Structure 1
Amino acid sequence: MSTLTGIILASLFGGTLSIAVAALFAMSARAEWVPMLVSYAIGALLGAAFLEILPHAFELTKSIENTAATILFGILMFFVLEKLVLWRHCHVDHCEAHVPAHDHGHDHGRSGLMIMVGDTFHNFVDGIIIAAAFLADFQIGVVTALAIIAHEIPQEVGDFLILLHSGYSKKQAFLLNLLSSLATVVGGVLAYFMLQSMHEWIPFFLAIAAASMIYVAVADLIPGLHKRPELLVTLQQALLIGLGIGSIWLTKALLGGHA
């Protein structure tokens, strides 16, 4: 098997397998579970951003200051993007977007759109990482692909829950995640041909992906949790956020930090 074939198969299989496993869990969840499980999604997003993606970005970058500035730029960019989505709703849906999201049980797709943009960046970078590993050694490439699959599953579960929370159907959530996963193949193939020129861009893509996850968790999802200030509910939310963070940490620890 050629190196390019290995990269394509690993990227395609890695994306579809993680999506399938995440869908199996997320689509079996009852509707009344979704608001509660959003807390887990917040933890998974923050865990992936701070424990997995940003350490990679700072490790690979030549300038921590520039990478930090890219994160800041990414948060501002997603703020503007969300404003544009709100503006569209205001003109198309008669300012329906000005009604609080919790009043309708979802947020008109805003956080879902944010997370899909960021997840596509992340998957693209995963493809670059897989290609780099295969070019170094075929066996390392296979191990790296398996590590990425394991690392992606808890994050993809969070993505599914966010899309459901945003008002998408289960079928739409599955198709959007599947489409986003194809960015892994694109990143892998492009990296195979242009790895040297693209290597310096990896921290940039990582920083943007982390910014999207941080923005969605902090700006879109956490405020909704404050609608339930009861002590028991708050403890439950904190526990589930911790569980989401812990799942990323545990996956990283079990794989020796390779994902």
Structure 2
Amino acid sequence: MENTFLSALVTSLLAALVTSLGIYTIRRFADWGQRNTTYFMCFAAGVLVAASFLHIIPRALSMNPDASAWLLVGFLGLHLFNRFVTAFVCERRPDGRDVAIGVVPMLGIGFHSFIDGFIYSIAFTVSLLTGYLATVGMVLHEFPEGIITYLLLVRGGIKERRAMWLAFLAAAATTPLGMLVSYPLVSRIDASTLGALLGLSAGALVYVGATHLLPRAEQEHRKYSLVALAGGVLVAVVIVASQA
């Protein structure tokens, strides 16, 4: 039991470290990152939407036949949150910057990373081998999550230092936090409950990718945006294949 807990904790901390490296890297090359934010938005949309449809949603439905309802709740919930931020926060900013473009993805990615912590707990409780196999695929998507969370916060008008800490808290720290919160409750988290949480998470990610990021990226008409989108889809396919 002790080895199981330590393994789940270490791998969730590894995921947080990889995400933090993404945040550090893009801040180190901030000018380049901001010039190419549109491409990162397309890339992130490809990863989030493809990973949701190819992996998260099928897994959620296999665990809970009602996961599609939770998918809808996650999608509409983030849409309503976006409307609230746009109406009551963006209007009050004197500089007119669109805070929602950073805050909404931060919320969706943060919730998903928190649920990732649950998955680490459950996978290692099944067996150490299952946990390590799950880790291989899950850690791959952490690096781009840190990058896009930071970039979008900066684009929304958040100062760089604050954006760095918000991105760390939302995309990195939530994974070990989710693991620590869920580990004592693993015996009570059945497949149906996890399926509902995964459905909720997938709905939020689909909203962030398809409804929030892509339309904004398309407004800028960058030459290689479709290539960046295809690259994101390809990365998602690799992640899913590594977990098969």
Do these two structures clear the TM 0.5 threshold for a shared fold by scoring above it?
yes
Match of 1:252 among 224, 232, 240: 240
Displacement after TM superposition at 1:152 (Å)? 2.3
Q: CA deviation at 1:146?
A: 3.6
Identical residues among aligned pairs (%): 22
Alpha carbons of structure 1 residues 136 and 219: separation in structure 2 relative to 1, 3 Å: closer
Whole-angstrom CA distance in 2 between matches of 1:245 and 1:118: 19
Counterparts of 2:227 and 2:87, CA distance in 1: 36
- The one-letter code matched in structure 2 to 1:72 is L
C-alpha spacing 1:138/1:46, structure 2 compared with 1 (3 Å)? same
Q: What are the ranges of 5 or more consecutive residues in structure 2 without an aligned counterpart? A: none
- Structure number with bigger Rg: 1
Q: Which residue of 1 aligns with 2:84?
A: 84
Matches within 5 A, 1:102-251: 107-108=98-99, 110-180=100-170, 181-199=172-190, 200-228=192-220, 233=222, 236-251=224-239
How far apart are 1:52 and its partner, in Å? 2.9
Q: Distance between the aligned counterparts of 2:150 and 2:89, measured in 1?
A: 23
| Cα distance in 1 between the residues matched to 2:119 and 2:101 | 27
**TM-score after normalising by structure 2:** 0.84
Partner Cα distance (1:86, 1:28) in 2: 29
Corresponding residue for residue 9 of structure 1: 10
Shift of 1:27: 4.4
- Which residue of structure 1 aligns with residue 40 of structure 2? 37
> Is the 2:134–2:243 contact (alpha carbons within 8 Å) kept by the matching residues of 1?
no
SS in 1 for 2:189: helix
Give a deviation string over 1:188-225, Cα, whole Å, max 9, x none: 22332211322332122222222222222233222223
Q: For 1:48 and 1:27, locate their aligned partners in 2 and report how far apart those are by CA, in whole Å.
A: 28
Map 1:62-81 → 2, pairs under 5 A: 63=65, 66-81=66-81
Aligned in 2, Cα 1:59/1:23: closer, same or farther, shift over 3 Å?
Answer: farther
Q: 1:176 to 1:90 in 2, by over 3 A?
A: closer
Counterpart contact for 2:115–2:201, Cα < 8 Å: no
Instruction: Give the direction of change, closer, same or farther, for the CA distance of 1:26–1:44 in structure 2 (3 Å limit).
Output: farther
> Deviation per CA, 1:23-70, whole angstroms, max 9, x where unpaired?
425642513222333222221221232223222212222x1xx21121
Maintained 8 Å contact 2:154/2:160: yes
Change (3 A) 1:169 1:44: farther
What is the aligned partner in structure 2 of residue 101 from structure 1? Answer: none
For 1:121 and 1:133, how far apart are their aligned partners in 2? 19
Distance 1:74 1:139, change over 3 A: closer
CA drift at 1:228: 4.1
The residue matched to 2:157 in structure 1 has which SS?
Answer: coil
Relative to 1, partners in 2 of residues 1:192 and 1:72: Cα closer, same or farther, differing over 3 Å?
same
Contact 1:111 1:162 in 2 (8 A): yes
Amino acid across the alignment from 2:214? I
User: What is the deviation of 1:93?
Assistant: 3.5
Distance 2:27 2:52 in 1: 21
Query: Residues 125 and 224 of structure 1: is their aligned pair in 2 closer, same or farther, counting only changes over 3 Å?
Result: closer
Counterpart code for 1:89: V
State yes or no: 1:46 paired with 2:34. Answer: no
The question of whether the paired residues in 2 share the 8 Å contact of 1:48 and 1:155 is answered with no
> Structure 2 vs 1, CA of residues 5 and 226 (structure 1 numbering), >3 Å: closer, same or farther?
closer
